[in-house]
Amino acid sequence: MVHAVKRFSPGRLALWIVLLFVTAVALVPFIMMLVMSTQNNYEIFSGASFRFGDHLMKNLESIAAVNFPRSMFNSLVIAVGTTVLSVFSSAMAGYAFAKWHFKGKKVIFFMVLATMVVPMEVGYVAFIYQMRLMGLAQTFWPLILPNVANAAGVFWMTSYMQDGVPYEIIESGRIDGCNEMKIFFQLVLPLLRPALYSLSVIAFLGSWNAYTLPMLMITKSEMFTIPLSIASLGNMQIADYGARILGVVVGILPILVIFLLTSKYVAEGLTAGSVKG
């Protein structure tokens, strides 16, 4: 919507003050964590301040001892696996729903939608047992497999393809004699590129941040993911608060970097999906 006035006005100033205040509220906890992660106990307990201390290296040594680099690697493996599998399965399923007619389509699509309301945690009671029976309990698979079926991803891919992929392209592939797999991978997928980027980053974030299932499945500390390591920092009865906070900072830093590099895709993906629904 276009408003006539763009020059300076008191109203406009007020809007900016509100926006900057909200920005401060959003960012100050992050900045404070950064500062505290460089302090020692004495500095932290003398009250929150925004003066950097010089204990960063000492705190880094403390958290390196709790296997932090290892959990970061674990989180990366799980998140990449989840992202690749869930993006492909969502794109393929979305293609089936958007561009094909088949028996049971409505029922299956309704099931997909219903999944978004269900608290999946309820199924974990049996899932842990199932994984044990399948011999997967002490692997990373239990953290990947349940997320391969990504209901929100399928829903979004379906609505994206309804408008974004013209039937003419599919038909032209058939006339050229391509088989259906080739049509999907060579003609349809390239059209989905922006949506695939968004979906990938969102799937990655979801997996990287997941806590409940890893907490229930993983017992060995060398298999910990980042949120598990952060939670165990919270549990530690260490007097070393700076190190504990540095753990949080190091744990969320990769996510912040990924987000800032891909913020356009993340923001578009997250908002487009929600407005359409």
Please check whether residue 235 is in contact with residue 78, taking contact to mean a CB–CB distance below 8 angstroms. no
Residue 113 as a binder of another protein (CB under 8 A): the answer is: no
**Could you give the angle at the alpha carbon of 20 between the alpha carbons of 16 and 25, nearest 5°?**
150
Q: Of residues 63, 72, 78, 96, which one binds another protein by CB under 8 A?
A: 96
Residues in the chain: 277
Q: Which is nearer to another protein, 199 or 248 (CB)?
A: 248
Would you say 47 and 114 are in contact if contact means Cβ atoms under 8 Å apart? no
Judged by CB under 8 A, does residue 15 bind another protein?
yes
Select the residue interacting with another protein from 13, 30, 219, 221 (CB under 8 A).
Answer: 30
Residues 49-68 that bind another protein (CB under 8 A): 49
The answer to whether residue 22 forms part of the interface with another protein (CB under 8 A) is: yes
Tokens of 34: 């950064």
Q: Which of 84, 110, 85 is nearest to 97 (CA)?
A: 110
Residue whose CB is less far from another protein, 6 or 106: 6
Per CB under 8 A, 108 contacts another protein: yes
Choosing from 13, 111, 238, 257, the residue that interacts with another protein (CB under 8 A) is 111
| Cβ at position 160, least distance to another protein in Å | 15
Nearer to another protein, 64 or 256 (CB): 256
Single out the residue of 245, 246, 265, 269 in contact with another protein (rule: CB under 8 A): 245
Site for another protein, residues 153 to 212, rule: CB under 8 A: 154, 180-181, 184, 205, 208-209, 211-212
Among 8, 10, 46, 177, binds another protein (CB under 8 A): 46
User: What DSSP string runs through 89-158?
Assistant: HHHHHHHHHHH---TTHHHHHHHHHHHTTS-GGGGHHHHHHHHHHTT-TTSSHHHHGGGTS-HHHHHHHH
Shortest distance, position 140 Cβ to another protein, whole Å: 14
- Using rule CB under 8 A, residue 130 touches another protein: yes
Instruction: Report the alpha-carbon distance of residue 243 to residue 61 in Å, rounded.
Output: 8
Residue of the chain from 57, 65, 122, 175 that contacts another protein (CB under 8 A): 122
> Interface with another protein by CB under 8 A: which range of 52-60, 76-84, 114-122, 165-173?
114-122
Kindly report the backbone phi and psi dihedral angles of residue 165, in degrees, each rounded to the nearest multiple of 5, phi listed first: -125, 105
Q: Which residues contact 165 (CB under 8 A, 6 or more apart)?
A: 95, 98, 99, 188, 191, 192
**Is residue 33 near another protein by the rule CB under 8 A?**
yes
Minimum distance from residue 61 beta carbon to another protein (Å): 20
Q: Which region among 63-71, 76-84, 142-150, 189-197 touches another protein (by CB under 8 A)?
A: 142-150
> Distance between CA 2 and CA 171 in Å, rounded?
42
Does the footprint of another protein cover residue 23 (CB under 8 A)? yes
Burial letters for 63-100: b for 16+ Cβ neighbours within 10 Å, e otherwise? Answer: beebbbeebbebbbebbbbbbebbbebbbbbbbbbbbe
